[in-house]
Structure 1
Amino acid sequence: MKNWRYLILSLVLSLFIHYYVTAVLMEIFGMGWYPIQFVVWCIELVVIYDALMFFTKNWNVKHRAMFFFAYYLFLIIALLIRYDQGISIIQLNPFACLREIYYGSWTEWIVFAFNIGYFMFMPWVNGLFISSNKENFIVSVFIGFLCEFMQLIFHRGVFDLGDISLYVVGILLGIYVKEKYHVHLKEKSEVHDN
């Protein structure tokens, strides 16, 4: 019965987040097609439900697999559902986004926050199956390169080293937070054991 409460709470939170944040961002980036928005909302619901199950210690292998699948499905949707831009450009300046932000580009702020925020959770997701931080970092950065390469191949954006550098910042932040969280859990369990 407790899981139903988590599901209802996840439903309310995902609707709130989707209506006030995700749908607005999708409209800005030209992805306002309603079937896509529904799929994205379903993924948000799964991610929030799994996060609640994780933090309340009710998480099992089924929830891990569901979370892993939803996370990477959302990544593929974010990359490939955008309209075909008809261009294949390679941006080799890893700090180009900082220059754009300096000159006042508000869309670069959104891209900056999205790239860091989205990839910050990748070490948590990959950590479900990869225990070593070094391997987790390498796999996460490889996935970032793969994402940029897919954008180049399918004409969905620019192969941008600036985005990859933001992915690396997000991945490092994610590994740092994950380690701090695990240290906190370890200290908490030692206090309860004594």
Structure 2
Amino acid sequence: MRHTRYPYLFKTLIFLLCFSLSKWVYDSFLISYAYYISSYGADFALSLNLIITLIISYFTYVFLGFCSSRQIRSSTLIACYFIYLFYLFSLLYLLFLKNIGTQGFSLNPLSFIEDIKNGSRFVPIMNLLMFIPMGFLYPLSRKNIFLGFLGILMVESCQFVFHLGVFDLGDVSLNLLSLTIGNLFYSYFLRSWRPKHILAHNPL
């Protein structure tokens, strides 16, 4: 984002606007789902709400900057992925803590359909969306699909072996589909798009 006279003030105002918008979206549509992982007291829930709102605000700010200039710094993109990975691993860690002592398995690769029919949409949607950005990092190929499948299978197996949850082939199916969607974007869109829009030094 560029503003000729007061660039930092302009950026601050834009970020505050993004924060206000993100807080409204979070409070209106997402806060009820956050309780799924926030059963650790009021202080934890409050901190979690603030962190998620700030993450959404930053991504919204970056997205608006890209829409304005049609370009993005490589350092900004790296920061986005760092935040994404931090959130992803924190989410997995909290979910594992929530399920300590739980063990089970489901060998139905379409078990998520039954979950959706029963009104439990949050977990299937998250399983479908959470690995798409990771899939943006490399192209679609049999080798990459196989390695992604092994990685997801390892996480699910750890849940079962260490009594941290349920080994669910439905989760494996959605996570693998999530990676594949990201791979498809990389192969057919991002590979040619990246050299024109990602800058090494120029600011937003």
Same fold judged by TM-score > 0.5? yes
Match of 2:38 among 31, 35, 39: 31
- Residue aligned with 2:108, SS: coil
User: What does residue range 107-126 of structure 1 map to in structure 2 within 5 Å?
Assistant: 107=120, 109-124=121-136
Match of 1:86 among 98, 101, 116: 101
- Residue aligned with 2:105, SS: strand
Q: Which has the higher contact order (CA 8 A, sep 6+)?
A: 2
**Mean CA deviation greater in 113-122 or 69-78:** 113-122
Which one has a bigger Cα radius of gyration? 2
Q: Is it true that 1:75 corresponds to 2:88 in the alignment? A: yes
**Mean CA deviation greater in 45-54 or 61-70:** 45-54
d(CA) in 2 for partners of 1:146 and 1:50? 33
Q: What is the CA deviation profile of residues 96-125 of structure 1, one whole-angstrom value per residue up to 9, with x for unaligned ones?
A: 222444xx3111x3222221122233212x
Q: What is the CA deviation profile of residues 22-68 of structure 1, one whole-angstrom value per residue up to 9, with x for unaligned ones?
A: 311112x1516222222222332333333344454342232122111
Once the two structures are aligned, what percentage of the paired residues are identical?
A: 21
Q: Which 5+ residue runs of structure 1 have no aligned equivalent?
A: 190-194
**Mean CA deviation greater in 115-124 or 176-185:** 176-185
Give the CA RMSD over aligned residues.
3.3
Could you say if the C-alpha distance between residues 157 and 52 of structure 1 is closer, same or farther in structure 2, counting changes exceeding 3 Å? farther
| Alignment correspondent of 1:63 | 76
- Residue aligned with 1:88, SS: strand
Q: Is the 8 A contact 2:134 2:182 kept in 1?
A: yes
Match of 1:98 among 96, 110, 113: 113
Could you say if the C-alpha distance between residues 70 and 149 of structure 1 is closer, same or farther in structure 2, counting changes exceeding 3 Å? farther
Matched AA of 1:165: S
Q: Is the 8 A contact 1:92 1:160 kept in 2?
A: yes
| Alignment correspondent of 1:22 | 30
Q: What is the CA deviation profile of residues 60-102 of structure 1, one whole-angstrom value per residue up to 9, with x for unaligned ones?
A: 232122111111111122222132341122322212222444x
Aligned pairs, number: 179
Q: Is it true that 1:51 corresponds to 2:63 in the alignment? A: yes
**Mean CA deviation greater in 90-99 or 62-71:** 90-99
User: What does residue range 153-168 of structure 1 map to in structure 2 within 5 Å?
Assistant: 155-168=163-176
- More helix, by proportion: 1
Matched AA of 2:48: I
d(CA) in 2 for partners of 1:170 and 1:119? 5
d(CA) in 2 for partners of 1:54 and 1:141? 33
Could you say if the C-alpha distance between residues 67 and 164 of structure 1 is closer, same or farther in structure 2, counting changes exceeding 3 Å? same
Q: Is the 8 A contact 1:89 1:152 kept in 2?
A: yes
Q: What is the CA deviation profile of residues 161-192 of structure 1, one whole-angstrom value per residue up to 9, with x for unaligned ones?
A: 11010112222223334445448859x99xxx
